Structure 1
Amino acid sequence: MSKVKKRIRPTREQAQEFNRRLGAVIDAGHTNKLYCDCELCQALAEQAKLMGYREYSTIKLPSDKWERRKQTYDRIHQIDAVKMANLAGQGLTYAEICEKMCRSKGYISKLAREFDIKIFTKKRGRKPCH
């Protein structure tokens, strides 16, 4: 079995220093920045490494993997929205569109709100006689 490195509990002074640096980062307004190379964020990263919260002190640069993933996600949504608009134009209801596109009703309603597509809730016209 491989040995797992045990994290040592930080001292009170280290915890106070960490909280002070964290407060400075929050005051600077960098709470939503995942990759920041300013002095405050770098100091916080180094303090976190010193205390054993991270394995590395430098903040890595973002990879383009997430950007590609977001682009494919948006592209799939656009394609589904076009298909859904065509089916809604034919007068189909939510349930029928879900069945034809093999998607959930929540996904269909989310796309309808996002792209402002009007979908009928009931069938219009004559009922079929049996």
Structure 2
Amino acid sequence: MFRSHVPAAALAAALALSACAPSIPVQSAQLSPLTSTQPRMRLAQNVVLKLSTGYSRRLASGSLWRPVGQVPQGLVLQPVGTVLTIEGRQVHEAYLVVSQNAVVGFYLPGESRFSPLAPSQPITIEGIND
């Protein structure tokens, strides 16, 4: 009786493992902090970012972002008053990386890594005076 359950249990375990989300792709990144205070920025319209892991993130129109530095891929924007996360096999805190009016990826501050967004997503942000 026990033997008949072993193949079913092995099959169930194999299916559970294959259903795990993939890891997000990452590269090493050196953040160069900004030397002067930059004005905050506001997102002009809703944006949905589709990750390679199958998950997506919605950035709300009117959300505020603070420029905190540069990585080789672009300007790093930290969300103001909230936390942005991206998800794959694990959940990571993330800042936006923008270049030429597009989100090109994410800076992962807890890991000092860059995660590319492919394809990049157009974004409209505007500076605000506080």
Q: TM-score, normalised by structure 1?
A: 0.27
**Structure with greater proportional helix content:** 1
**Structure with greater proportional strand content:** 2
Q: Which protein has the larger Cα radius of gyration, Structure 1 or Structure 2?
A: 1
- Tell me which of the two structures has the higher relative contact order, counting C-alpha pairs closer than 8 angstroms and 6 or more residues apart: 2
